Structure 1
């Protein structure tokens, strides 16, 4: 076994430790307040060893954010696929967005909302904005709702997906006297009474 071959498992382990440490720091302090020194300390390595794996802070935090992003969408898909009906999927979506600060996989939403410029600097200019990415996630669920006869067959799923993205984020984050995002029954009632009801209407009559 060569020296290079023996070193690979350790290299991967250190990289994973650094990314995990970066996630911890991002959770506690956000992007701007997180420093390379803090990440190295949490990971239990020197700054010099950190720079062997990541050339700068943006590259390090970008790797952590990408992993968080993957975790969020995996979690979101799991939750929505576990329930049937667009109304109940909306309930699951609102619940996921509402617990952003509590669910590690959803931290990416919080970072995007609170530090958009720092987020873009870490992840890159090619990353989609928050609403378009959420809309892209919702579009296949709307297409399924059309196929199942839950909403009008002429629904523009791409346009409606953007509306769903905006309204679920609003329901999850904006306080209301008539709606409780922490109460699934309240969310379900609102989803059925207003969101799904609107999507059942003929778009041509709007």
Structure 2
């Protein structure tokens, strides 16, 4: 089997797993279901994935990559040229993403919470690294203070995005785009700019 064919087969199995999770749910889907949907044998499945947990992790990684591609598109199309606009759009995108995926059959609250906890450090780093170029560019243009530490600043904002996805606010409607945008404008970006009260 050539390398290209192997990659294609792996992607085909992942796509089949997504299809099964959507129709049967995460808990009820079996390896046999996935192999049958992918039109491969169980032995072929095991050439690529050790067990159900590893195919779930592969699906999560594929979903994460697609998530960041879509978020980058949303930021580029609707975030404007300022860091504030871009971070607002990122937050709105995350809040909307939860509303979109939650009704899906495959969205298992316990499984999602377990994965977010188990892979928290890696997911947090991935999100912070995604945000870093936007914040670094804003530091160059003077939109944020020049002594801002980009890695810790983006980690802080990534933590805020994670909370928007996992925990509804008791104070504003996270389904309301303007409420989310106002929350970010009022509090999030303020931490990145110079404290004006200290200016002479």
Pick from 152, 167, 170 the counterpart of residue 160 of structure 2.
Answer: 167
User: Which SS does the other structure have where 2:186 is aligned?
Assistant: helix
Residue matched to 1:95: 92
Name structure 2 gaps, 5 residues minimum.
Answer: none
Residue matched to 2:185: 192
In the alignment, the residues of structure 1 paired with residue 164 and residue 48 of structure 2 have an alpha-carbon distance, to the nearest angstrom, of 40
Q: Deviations over 1:151-181 (max 9, x none)?
A: 2222111111111011122234322243222
Pick from 49, 73, 81 the counterpart of residue 76 of structure 2.
Answer: 81
Q: Does 1:137 align with 2:139?
A: no
Residue matched to 1:116: 115
TM-score, normalization: structure 2? Answer: 0.72
The farther-off stretch of 86-95 and 139-148 is 86-95
In the alignment, the residues of structure 1 paired with residue 21 and residue 99 of structure 2 have an alpha-carbon distance, to the nearest angstrom, of 11
Size of the aligned set, in residue pairs, is 188
Where does 1:18-33 land on structure 2 (aligned, <5 Å)? 18-27=13-22, 29-30=25-26
User: Which SS does the other structure have where 1:73 is aligned?
Assistant: helix
Give the drift of 1:12.
6.1
Give the drift of 1:22.
1.2
User: Which SS does the other structure have where 1:102 is aligned?
Assistant: helix
TM-score, normalization: structure 1? Answer: 0.70
**Alignment RMSD (CA, Å):** 3.6
Q: Deviations over 1:72-111 (max 9, x none)?
A: 22222222222222222223222332214635xxx99x89
In the alignment, the residues of structure 1 paired with residue 36 and residue 52 of structure 2 have an alpha-carbon distance, to the nearest angstrom, of 14
In the alignment, the residues of structure 2 paired with residue 51 and residue 94 of structure 1 have an alpha-carbon distance, to the nearest angstrom, of 38
User: Which SS does the other structure have where 2:171 is aligned?
Assistant: coil
